[in-house]
Structure 1
Amino acid sequence: MENTNSASKGYLFPLVVIGVLFFMIGFALGINGLIIPFLRTALDLTTAESYLVLAATFSTFVIFGYPCGLIIKAIGYKKTMILSFLFFAVGLYLFIPSAENKSFSMFLLASFISGIGNTMLQAAVNPYITILGPLESAATRMSMMGIANKAAWAIAPIFLGVFLNLSDVKLEDIKMPFYFISGIFVVLGILVAFVPLPEVKAEGEDENDTESAASAYASNKTSIWQFPHLLLGLVSLLCYVGVETLAMASIVDYAKSIGLADPQVYTSYTVIGMVAGYLVGVFFIPKYISQEKAMFICAIIGVASSLLVVFLPVHVSIWFVALLGLANSLMWPALWPLAMKDLGKFTKTGSSLLVMAIVGGAIFPLLFGWLADEFGDLQQAYWICFPAYLMIFYYALSGHKIRV
């Protein structure tokens, strides 16, 4: 299928459908932001142990990222999306017996299974939305999806906060919301099965295409490991997902640790920053600012904010954790298309490799929890963000241009 303007009438409906899927990804991940401090109190866990919930969720990306690419090749984007909802529903439902048995290992299993669903859905929707229209406007489409995703991430802990009282922890309170949530994923999986989503291909992905620039660049390559801009993008994406997950999931924990009222609402402040950045992406990329320039500016904000988080007084520094939302906003929308550019026939393999980088969402929170235990202080654990933003800064400046 040839690329056409994603804003055209033919692609408007698929954009809306994929937006709903991005919303559900955000909702499922946003649950962790409140579950982490909740489980730590209920099961008397250390900080590092509680962050194993995120590690279990995101470790699936490195385990199943590449196989998901093979699944997409075999059954297509749409059927992979439907399959992902099955895993989501099963994993989220397992939170109920986990609560009944007060079993942390069962919570980890539930997070792992829902993580498989997350991996499948991410492997399908991210390349799909990237190649649904012109590559130079991919960041615009990804920004739209980001608004849906992060809005859901903010709503999730507030939704759970209606059922869960952090000051009076009762694991049985988890049962009702997770019956509801797992049911939603079942219904959505059924609905997606009946939605007409066109199968799309990237430039040069069709083996019969021998004329495009992407085909010419990829034609003499025999392995996905021969694309340096993709490999550097892989490292940058791993760093990005790590710091983004940390900013979103840890701010509730940080607010609670310094005694702020209603800690569950602080995720929404991070989301406000991200949505503000996404709106810039929607209205200004690529007409007024390039994807590369947007990522460069965001990387500078990230480097500066990560330093201010650890040096300022805690009641001020938490607002710079929220500002990391703005820093992270246009990184994913720009990183993904820049890393996938010119992959040609390796597009699906490259996208599955990039999905594996989402394991950063497991690595960084786990290291953050370990550092917090070592320092005895959540604030100093945020040092982990600084080198990550430096790597993203390098990729935005020159790493994405390397083609030798």
Structure 2
Amino acid sequence: MPTQGTNYTRSLTILTALFFMWGLITSLNDILVPHLKALFELSYFQASLVQFCFFFAYFVMSYPAGKIVAKLGYKVGIILGLLIAAIGCILFYPSAAMRSYPLFLLSLFILASGLTLLQVAANPYVNSLGSPETAASRLNLTQAFNSLGTTIGPVIGSLFILSATILSASEQSALSPEQLHSYHATEAASVQSPYLVLTLALVVIAVIIFFSKLPKVESEVETASTVKQSLFVHRHLILGVVGIFAYVGAEVSIGSYLISFMQSPDVAGLTAASASKHLALYWGGAMIGRFAGSFIMRKIKPNKLLTFNAIIIALLLISAIVFAGSWGMWAVLAIGLFNSIMFPTIFSLALEKMGNLSGQASGLLCMGIVGGAIIPVIQAFFADHFALLISFLVPVVCYLYIAWYGFKGYKPENS
């Protein structure tokens, strides 16, 4: 609970801008993958390092980020996260100028490290700004603007990053020195310009937050007795980490193979371009669901809504596997709507009654995001050895676990 009377609306408005920004930045990864693949003539595995570096940063940096937040508080953690992310963004400038893929990956890792600290600090802070009964509702509302960012990001990326024509090595060898220099400058600018704008935006938001009087909350003050406590004795928290792992893994896995799924002759037989347009429905559904979920949770307990949504998704996936065809396509696209409330709800339930350990607990929860790097690989194994349709049983298992967590696993042992 806050230690002093404050205007929550103003604070939540500022924090909402953060959620929007990191949603926008994260979604640009989907644009960078095909751009860098074409630019450096990479294999699919080499191009996949873009996403791997992003999720690996969450795994490596989440626990240290939790320690930083526990020691310095939410506000300082948010500001540091913004500035580290800004450093990652500005490093895209020399990466593009030098045409260095390793430097791009390093820049991305630094950027993701900043976003990790930002998320570790902001999620429990939003959770603490108000009544515990409406914590999941608040987090869903702010996360809805994260989804708005993920919807707008690809549009911005396609207008700038993917607007540049990438020439093959043989085509470049046919250019004169002057033409080659001009081509490199144009191609570099396509990446440099949007990330320079993002750098400026991140720094501006950091400055605004620095001069803003954000309310302090009791849970961000670490005491001597807190340090001696262990996070791992809190069963509902550890199960929540597994829940975050399962959810992010399932979401990323479905998103990774959704276009291929819709292209399959057994499903819809769409072209890549048409399937990409349908993908907007998947992410748009997630955005709408979070806005709606933030209000529904004021009437229905978050754990019950989580269980209901997880069961619905499992049924949608199973029906898509069994019936395939047009029904299969629309069933999987509908998952975005029911996915919407899961991450913030699992996060909020896992932080319940964590008190002064909330900062470190948030770091531990964010480590679960590494599921986005692991679950898709498991599904790929089944897709390669059996069939793409059959491989969607992997996320079914993930959602069944989430349903159980919402039904029983979320309860703190002393409740």
* Band the TM-score falls in, shorter-chain normalisation: 0.7 to 0.9
What's the CA shift for 1:255? 6.6
Aligned equivalents of 1:167, 1:367: Cα separation in 2: 34
After superposition, the C-alpha distances for 1:96-145 in whole angstroms (9 at most, x for unaligned) are 33334443322221211111011100010000011111122112101111
Contact between 2:2 and 2:128, CA under 8 Å: does it hold in 1? Answer: no
Q: CA 1:200/1:398 → structure 2, altered by over 3 Å: closer, same or farther?
A: same
C-alpha displacement of 1:360: 2.0
- How far off is 1:389 after superposition? 1.1
Q: 1:293 aligns with which of 284, 304, 308?
A: 304
CA contact (8 A) 1:138 1:333 kept: no
Shift of 1:148: 0.4
Q: Distance in 1 between matches of 2:212 and 2:272?
A: 44
> Match of 1:155, as an amino acid?
I
Structure 1 pair 295/53, CA: closer, same or farther in 2 (3 Å)?
Answer: same
Q: Which residue of the partner structure matches residue 75 of structure 2?
A: 78
* Structure 1 residues 154 and 315: CA distance shift in structure 2, 3 A: farther
Change in CA separation of 1:403 and 1:277 when aligned onto 2, cut-off 3 Å: same
Paired residue for 2:154, among 154, 157, 165?
Answer: 157
2:283 corresponds in structure 1 to 271
TM-score, normalization: structure 1?
0.84
Q: Which aligned pairs between 1:241-280 and structure 2 lie closer than 5 A?
A: 241-248=248-255, 251=258, 259-261=271-273, 265-280=277-292
In the other structure, the counterpart of 1:224 is 231
Deviation digits for residues 219-252 of structure 1 (CA, Å, limit 9, x no counterpart): 9x94211111111111011111222334456656
Matches within 5 A, 1:70-149: 70-149=67-146
Q: Which stretch of structure 1 is more off in the superposition, 61-70 or 122-131?
A: 61-70
> Does the 8 Å CA contact 1:247/1:324 hold for their aligned counterparts?
no
Which residue number corresponds to residue 202 of structure 2?
185
1:105 and 1:328 mapped to 2: Cα distance? 34
> Is 1:401 the counterpart of 2:415 in the alignment?
no
The separation in 2 between residues aligned to 1:274 and 1:21, in whole angstroms, is 18
For 1:299, what is the secondary structure of its paired residue? helix
1:2-401 matches, cutoff 5 A: 2=2, 10-165=7-162, 168-169=165-166, 171-172=187-188, 173-202=190-219, 222-248=229-255, 251=258, 259-261=271-273, 265-286=277-298, 288-310=299-321, 313=324, 317-367=328-378, 374=384, 382-401=392-411
Separation in 1, partners of 2:321, 2:288: 24
Q: Greater CA deviation, 381-390 or 27-36? A: 381-390
* Number of aligned positions between the proteins: 388
Which runs of 5 or more residues in structure 1 are unaligned? Answer: 209-217
Checking the alignment, whether the CA contact within 8 Å between 1:242 and 1:362 is kept in structure 2 is yes
Q: CA RMSD in A?
A: 3.2
- Structure 1 window deviating more from structure 2 (221-230 vs 359-368): it is 359-368
Higher CA-based Rg: 2
- When residues 267 and 178 of structure 1 are mapped into structure 2, their CA distance, relative to the original with a 3 A threshold, is farther
* Post-superposition offset of 1:382: 4.2
The answer as to whether partners of 1:307 and 1:386 remain within 8 angstroms in 2 is yes
What is the distance in 1 between the residues matched to 2:26 and 2:329?
A: 21
- Name the stretch that deviates more: 37-46 or 346-355: 37-46
Q: Identity over aligned residues, as a percent? A: 30
| Equivalent residue letter for 2:346 | L
Give the aligned residue type for 2:405: Y
* SS of 1:261 mapped into structure 2: helix
- Alpha carbons 1:299, 1:327 under 8 Å: kept: yes
Equivalent residues of 1:89, 1:114 under 8 A apart: yes
Q: Residue type of the partner of 2:287?
A: V
Does the residue aligned with 2:146 lie in a helix, a strand or coil?
helix
In the alignment, the residues of structure 2 paired with residue 75 and residue 222 of structure 1 have an alpha-carbon distance, to the nearest angstrom, of: 18
Alpha-carbon contact 2:70-2:359 (below 8 Å) kept: yes
Structure 1 residues 184 and 2, CA, compared in 2 at 3 Å: closer, same or farther?
A: closer
Partner of residue 212, structure 1: none
Q: Distance in 1 between matches of 2:293 and 2:71?
A: 33
Question: Which segment drifts farther, 26-35 or 277-286?
Answer: 277-286
2:177 corresponding residue in structure 1 = none
Change (3 A) 1:52 1:146: same
Cα distance in 2 between the residues matched to 1:149 and 1:165:
22
Normalising by structure 2, what TM-score?
Answer: 0.82
Give the distance between the partners of 2:101 and 2:386, measured in 1 at CA: 23
Partners of 1:37 and 1:255 in 2: how far apart?
A: 19
Unaligned runs of 5+ in 2: 168-186, 265-269
Distance 1:93 1:105 in 2: 15
CA contact (8 A) 2:71 2:222 kept: no
